[in-house]
A and B are shown apart, each in its own frame.
Chain A
């Protein structure tokens, strides 16, 4: 470093060099490379932990190179790494080498939803008996904070499932797929397929609409059964 020492200037140079090939002036290149590698490898592994199926689908080597591009452009904004990766699906949509794999962003959104569900706030389970009180159409259901409605115009749920450890490959359909993602009171993260109607109802419930409005004339029984079975209704009011 030239000129009088200044801590902030040194750190700015050090930081810039983490994403370039040259070390900061005056520092040993091989020694500096340990830090560059730690930063890049550490962020890559954090991203792979959150998006294991994406890593499997594109291969570890490609994933590592892509993760470096993503991390340089969208580094974690806070030290809470479990909250890093929200922008990854949108990044995959615009990453030119992946243009031939249009379902990848939806697989990433599913993995992101699972991560959010795992860490979502706890909430007590409502007494299901209250569902029998009053006019069902006017009931307002509060769902567990972990509940997400996920949908894809691709068979991205099947793709995700077939890339789980130990899964068996099967022919893929062409149809769009929808799912409920949530965490049960026993801390299992679940992914349950939904019909298009079930997905629409779930999305409307999550938006705060009363049951009658959320169903839009469709039968809510399959969705309600799913929500009750997994303990995902936390309050029932009217």
Chain B
């Protein structure tokens, strides 16, 4: 069973009671895999309870799929245990690296798009899908740097990964807007070039603006409402893909539940107002 083509929210324990009191306000919840790798207690109990009437997406932030070194076998085993325990409707990870040697860095770091990194990432995605026994989704990053070594565009790079490994894609529209602003490219053109037929989930989030002398630098902070230009890009993307599961991500400076619920409501309005024709 895939995620439903409706809005979901990143689950925070602060909102647990209110989500339970209003079943159906959102259709799925998403959690960061690594926050549920304790042995037991409230986190697993809350997830079990919510999964009874919401679809569940497990979103990893720790695999370092874009790392030059081999995947962490122990971490893959933890993920396998977590997926066996909660049987989520979807598992996704990032086009990024986040560990080096024995150190985990708690951030999604950027990489150049070259033939070498493409090979590495395809190998890693194959290993993940084989180990977990499921198709995974890979998310486009928000970046602050590009590398002169890159020989692939990000959209072609993701298309190649999806083609070679059979993985799906998670389109983060805020990440597109953040990267487009930071690197001076056209977000609409990026979306036009994106392999939209491989997208199985969309992420929406808020960003912060840092004023630099050369112009604004956007930070993918997940700490604010979704910005208006991101809503516009989202509506444009959905008009081409048809309704897709859409997550409102809000991880810092958490809002009260009604604020988050209203963001989900705005996404639902956009999902329902478009043609359901997925043919491009």
Contacts and interface: CB of A to CB of B under 8 A. Distances in A.
Interface string A184-210: 000100000000000000000000000
Interface stretch (A50-58, A79-87, A88-96, A151-159): A79-87
Q: How large is the interface on A (under 10, 10 to 19, 20 to 34, 35 or more residues)?
A: 35 or more
A173 interface: no
Nearest to A76: B104
Given A11-B67, A27-B145, A76 B106 contact: yes
A14 B97 CA distance: 11
Q: How large is the interface on B (under 10, 10 to 19, 20 to 34, 35 or more residues)?
A: 35 or more
B229 interface: no
A81 to B, nearest CB: 6
A22 interface: no
A140 interface: no
B38 A118 contact: yes
B37 A75 contact: no
A119 B39 contact: yes
Interface stretch (A37-45, A104-112, A128-136): A37-45
A14 B109 contact: yes
B112 A10 contact: yes
Interface of A: 1, 5-8, 10-12, 14-15, 18, 26-28, 30-32, 34-35, 38-39, 42-43, 46, 75-83, 118-122, 145-146, 183, 187
Contact of A35 (B38, B101, B144, B217): B144
Interface in B58-94: 61-64, 67-69, 72, 74-75, 78
B105 A75 contact: yes
B112 A15 contact: no
Nearest to B43: A119
Nearest to B100: A15
A226 B97 CA distance: 47
Contacts of B144: 31-32, 34-35
Contacts of A18: 105
A119 B101 CA distance: 26
